[in-house]
Chain A
């Protein structure tokens, strides 16, 4: 399956320009015969919406989201947007669009509130993690901070997810001699999840500034054997195409069937004891 990682700078609060930018990247991916293009968290709106949250949030079946779905006739598209439900509750949502429809959505579950983050001030947390089938892959979507919490990964792996899509808006904090200090943590996390669970992890982070906050990019794909098979540059808007082959998962499991010695009851016991 040929996938495109669209490491874009979302346009803050401007639908027309934003959808134009998405189209530009989608058409490039179609030209390259990619079957899936993944955009970052909140790619259609920008991130720090604050008091604009309700105004900019969209219903799943809104005309705007329908226009995004229409673009998915030739290529599957993963986009991020602020969602509003029928009860005026807002969520940070990622949608997997395919064949003109939304195949699956994921609402961000873990909403950061520390330091510069205000997610849980403006948004409700999602509650569920639902896998879905695409081609031979069983996919699962996570959004940014979701990835930092092991229980989300454990849950998806238990549900046999073998291709994880993580859409992010991770800002730069410290800079060390290698560049963005946080990048080594993200790399270890992405690679660690991929290698330990024999899955592909597709991680797409945004670039650009929002009032001085710098989103640094560095999107990547890690293979089931723990190799980084694609890595995008820091600070630059960019797109990369990469093939992911289901056979790699089979080969990894054949050579190192780590899941044979999984003992999920240990996790279950821990929860039982502490609740």
Chain B
């Protein structure tokens, strides 16, 4: 009952200004993936599929952009992945893609045991980074582009593990808010079970994103949209009807996570410094 009302809310009440043309958007994202593959000579791509909405959606988009033999899904649960086992299998079956599984439990338990890591947040970060290590090794093995699954909402508020789940070659959803991802998932006919389950980073059991962040994605995305995309100030957001507490908390999260959106900061001591005034776009790779 509760799940049905969640889905109803997401599908019907997505704020008008967050609605997009799903067909056009998906074409842009497909072409972007193809472009990155072709420009830099990749014939394969790999996605870490958790069974959650974002990685499922990215898998569907990539599956439309690439041939089945070009795309590998990598599933890395900790122990028994609860409903995610079924969902990851469901996605790979639906898309006709090979699903490679590596259970991180033994390695994670061993590392956390040896280093006495008990704090759930630290453990969650270790899990995310272990997955990253294996993901990039598969990338090296297959000479495959790592397609990441972070969305704009989590990138803006820093809801990801630095050099963990946010590590990737490209992020097709990086400019798409979570509520927009839900709408896009409808367009791609992502299985309803996956759309309906509460979003969770699964750093620990029973964790849900919305409970941990303290806001619903609907409200969070609206505050982010008006502040980031439309440049509303704090005062203007409050005047628009958002609660002072929520706006304060979202803006604070945004500022606190700026470091995650950058290359490590370099002190400038020369005339041309990486990340600052050594200005070349990646396409220059192919310049003769």
- Residues on A close to B: CB < 8 A? 12-16, 46, 48, 50-52, 172, 174-180, 208-212, 214, 234-235
Query: Contacting A177 at CB < 8 Å: which of B21, B28, B284?
Result: B21
From A174, which residue of chain B is reached at the shortest CB distance?
B229
Task: Give 15 new A-B contacts, CB below 8 A, not counting A14-B288, A52-B287.
Answer: A12-B283, A14-B286, A48-B281, A51-B272, A51-B278, A51-B280, A175-B20, A178-B21, A179-B24, A209-B35, A211-B282, A211-B283, A234-B24, A234-B27, A235-B27
Q: List 28 A-B contacts (CB under 8 A).
A: A12-B281, A12-B286, A12-B287, A13-B283, A13-B287, A14-B287, A14-B288, A50-B280, A172-B28, A175-B25, A177-B20, A178-B21, A179-B21, A179-B24, A180-B24, A209-B31, A209-B32, A209-B35, A210-B281, A210-B283, A211-B281, A211-B282, A211-B283, A212-B32, A214-B32, A234-B27, A235-B27, A235-B28
- Is the C-beta of B19 less than 8 angstroms from some C-beta in chain A? yes
Contact status B284-A13, CB under 8 Å: yes
Contact status B279-A13, CB under 8 Å: no
Contact partners of B35 in chain A: CB under 8 A: 208-209
Min CB gap A268→B, angstroms: 36
Total number of B residues with any Cβ neighbor in A under 8 Å: 23
Min CB gap A237→B, angstroms: 11
Contact partners of A172 in chain B: CB under 8 A: 28
Near A by CB (< 8 A), chain B positions 1-28 give: 19-21, 24-25, 27-28
Contact partners of B281 in chain A: CB under 8 A: 12, 48, 50, 210-211
Which of B279, B281, B286 gathers the greatest number of chain A CB atoms within 10 Å?
B281
- Nearest 3 interchain pairs by C-beta: A50-B279, A13-B287, A12-B283
Give CA–CA (A14, B283) in the complex, Å: 10
Give CA–CA (A176, B25) in the complex, Å: 9
Given A13-B286, A16-B288, A235-B28, are A177 and B279 also a contact pair (CB < 8 Å)? no
Contact partners of B282 in chain A: CB under 8 A: 211
From A9, which residue of chain B is reached at the shortest CB distance?
B35
Min CB gap B203→A, angstroms: 29
Contact partners of B19 in chain A: CB under 8 A: 176-177
Contact partners of B283 in chain A: CB under 8 A: 12-13, 46, 48, 210-211
Contact status B288-A175, CB under 8 Å: no
Give CA–CA (A12, B229) in the complex, Å: 29
Near A by CB (< 8 A), chain B positions 242-256 give: none
Contact partners of B32 in chain A: CB under 8 A: 209, 212, 214
From B283, which residue of chain A is reached at the shortest CB distance?
A12
